[in-house]
């Protein structure tokens, strides 16, 4: 029999990360919320920081302000694992309540059980919660904007791609048909100087906005490899955030808004030589900004201008836009062909979204002209004779071989140190069926023809909007 002592989780950081006195805490939270503004669609998910309120409370308030007065019937808070190195998978607190200075927050035990039933990776590991602050610091805000509501706390103990996918799938299936809110708890960069933090955090938030976990992982890896002074991590809640990105994609919450960014150096007593970054992000139901016909024509004209300016004068064109679709992070490929013969002259791209679409197209145009190892660099005199084609990719996701649709899916295979990618138009141009497509993909990656069948081969699928200049 479960005892009351085991199902009531006591505060671990009251009086440290936030005021321990109920009246003082309510006054502090209400003060932060009063300074925040509410606009835009109701969130299906949020990212909120979990540092001490004196540093990050104003950023957390901007996230939670968006759910004030919204009638949710299911709330899940995802935390990260700072405190229990022995925890595995994802740990849920399945029943009872979390005691807080402003009153107990009850557990939605029925939803908790349904989530455990949905995935073997979700289990109750008591020690993963007892000293962990990342979920606890969200609750006073939740109590003020969603008073009296139950919730389910889950610590993502191991932020592997497999665990995050399993958690996201469990959330999507269990919460289907409900008006649900998922909150991911995470801070951003830890301890670099102020200017480095701003640069790293902007890239991390752009990767989050791409809804591509591979882009987030790559961005974090790239900046950690830069040896930035005192940068210990780019995102301590990578697991909760990745799971939330996958969940948002699964339920069609593809409108991503960066609501607020700040770091500890922005408060009056913060040390700008050693800061921690904080972001508030909203995921709302609906599609990402759509590329309109005029956007596509703009990109074709810009690609040609980029080739002329860079190959002719060694400079990039000065281009500014307010189009939401062009500012959305997207991965792109630019293909250059000889107009008269159709002969390939250069094709380069990126498989993950590292920058806004417009910047990606400009950079990949230059790479296609100057950095395709199969060809000599394009000269300025050749540009008028080239045909330009642009492919804008959707985020990649794992795909099974039997799910591949020729003409619809582009593919990437990764096995060990080998990887290869083919755009969705390639198998159609070659007249391949599905198996020929998979064999061709392996050939591109310098793998054996049937490597796609190997257990250690990872297959990713994506779709692409493809358009080119008129002949």
What CA–CA distance (Å, rounded) separates 76 from 149? 11
In total, the chain counts a number of residues equal to 471
- Which is it for strands 43-48 and 180-185: parallel, antiparallel or unpaired? parallel
- Phi and psi at 386, nearest 5°, equal -95, 145
Residue ranges in 210-270 assigned as alpha helix (H): 213-224, 238-251
Q: What does the pLDDT look like over 154-182, one tens digit per residue?
A: 999 999 989 999 999 999 999 999 999 99
- Residue 324 CB neighbours (<10 A): 14
What CA–CA distance (Å, rounded) separates 304 from 102? 61
* pLDDT score of 43: 97
Bridge partners of 337, per DSSP, are 344, 387
- Nearest C-alpha neighbor of 288 from the set 359, 210, 214, 361: 210
Domains of the chain from N-terminus onward: 4-284 (3.40.830.10), 293-393 (3.30.700.20), 397-466 (3.30.1490.150)
- Phi and psi at 114, nearest 5°, equal -65, -40
Predicted TM-score (pTM) of the model is 0.78
- Nearest C-alpha neighbor of 142 from the set 132, 153, 131: 153
Structure tokens of 284? 């709302």
Helices then strands (H, E): number in the chain? Answer: 15, 19
Which element (helix H / strand E) includes 327?
helix 324-327
What CA–CA distance (Å, rounded) separates 404 from 399? 7
* pLDDT score of 402: 94
Virtual torsion, Cα 258, 153, 64, 51, nearest 10 deg: -70
Low-confidence stretches of the chain (pLDDT < 50) are 1-5
Bridge partners of 184, per DSSP, are 47, 78
SS3 158: coil
Sheet holding 458-462: strands in order across?
397-398, 458-462, 410-415, 418-422
For tokens 């902007």, what's the residue? 202
Structure tokens of 93? 């607190």
Q: What are the Cα distances from residue 238, in Å, to 1, 250, 292?
A: 36, 18, 33
Burial zone of 257 (CB within 10 Å; 0-12 exposed, 13-18 middle, 19+ buried): middle
* pLDDT score of 6: 60
What CA–CA distance (Å, rounded) separates 382 from 367? 15
DSSP 451: G
For tokens 């005029």, what's the residue? 294
- Nearest C-alpha neighbor of 47 from the set 285, 257, 266: 257
DSSP states along 330-374? -EEEEEEEETTT--EEEEEE-SS--SBHHHHHHHHHHHHHH--TT
- Nearest C-alpha neighbor of 305 from the set 297, 296, 317: 317
Q: What does the pLDDT look like over 349-391, one tens digit per residue?
A: 988 787 889 999 999 999 999 999 999 999 999 999 999 999 9
What CA–CA distance (Å, rounded) separates 450 from 461? 18
What CA–CA distance (Å, rounded) separates 442 from 414? 9
* pLDDT score of 330: 87
What CA–CA distance (Å, rounded) separates 362 from 349? 11
């Amino acid at each position: 029999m479960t005892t009351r002592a085991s199902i009531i989780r006591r505060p671990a950081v009251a009086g440290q990360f936030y005021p321990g006195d109920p009246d003082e805490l309510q006054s502090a939270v209400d003060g932060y919320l009063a300074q925040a503004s509410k606009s835009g669609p109701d969130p299906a998910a949020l990212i909120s920081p979990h540092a001490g309120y004196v540093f990050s409370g104003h950023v957390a308030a901007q996230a939670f302000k968006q759910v004030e007065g919204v009638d949710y019937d299911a709330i899940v808070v995802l935390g990260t694992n700072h405190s229990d190195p022995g925890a595995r998978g994802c740990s849920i607190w399945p029943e009872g309540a979390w005691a807080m200075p402003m009153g107990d927050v009850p557990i939605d035990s029925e939803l908790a059980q349904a989530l455990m039933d949905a995935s073997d990776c979700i289990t109750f590991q008591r020690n993963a919660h007892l000293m962990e602050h990342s979920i606890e610091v969200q609750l006073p805000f939740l109590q003020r904007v969603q008073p009296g509501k139950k919730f389910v706390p889950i610590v993502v103990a191991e932020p592997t791609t497999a665990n995050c996918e399993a958690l996201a799938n469990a959330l999507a299936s269990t919460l289907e048909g409900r008006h649900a809110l998922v909150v991911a708890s995470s801070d951003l960069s830890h301890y670099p100087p102020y200017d480095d933090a701003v640069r790293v955090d902007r890239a991390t938030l752009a990767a989050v906005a791409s809804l591509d976990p591979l882009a987030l992982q790559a961005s974090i890896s790239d900046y950690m490899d830069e040896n930035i002074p005192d940068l210990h991590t780019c995102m301590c809640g990578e697991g909760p955030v990745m799971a939330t990105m996958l969940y948002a994609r699964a339920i069609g919450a593809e409108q991503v808004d960066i609501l607020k960014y700040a770091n500890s150096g922005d408060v009056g007593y913060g040390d700008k030589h050693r800061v921690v970054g904080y972001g508030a992000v909203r995921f709302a139901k609906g599609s990402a900004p759509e590329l309109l016909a005029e956007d596509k024509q703009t990109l074709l004209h810009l690609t040609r201008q980029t080739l002329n300016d860079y190959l002719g004068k060694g400079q990039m064109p000065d281009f500014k836009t307010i189009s939401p679709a062009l500012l959305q992070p997207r991965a792109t490929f630019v293909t250059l062909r000889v107009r008269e013969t159709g002969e390939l002259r250069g094709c380069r791209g990126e498989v993950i979204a590292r920058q806004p679409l417009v910047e990606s197209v400009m950079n990949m145009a230059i790479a296609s002209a100057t950095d395709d190892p199969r060809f000599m660099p394009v000269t300025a005199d050749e540009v008028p004779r080239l045909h330009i084609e642009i492919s804008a990719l959707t985020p990649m996701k794992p795909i099974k071989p039997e799910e591949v649709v020729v003409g619809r899916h582009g593919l990437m295979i990764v096995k060990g140190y080998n990887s290869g990618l083919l755009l969705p138009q390639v198998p159609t141009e070659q007249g391949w069926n599905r198996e020929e497509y998979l064999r061709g993909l392996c050939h591109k990656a310098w793998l054996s023809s049937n490597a796609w069948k190997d257990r250690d081969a990872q297959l990713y699928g994506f779709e692409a909007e493809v358009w080119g200049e008129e002949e």
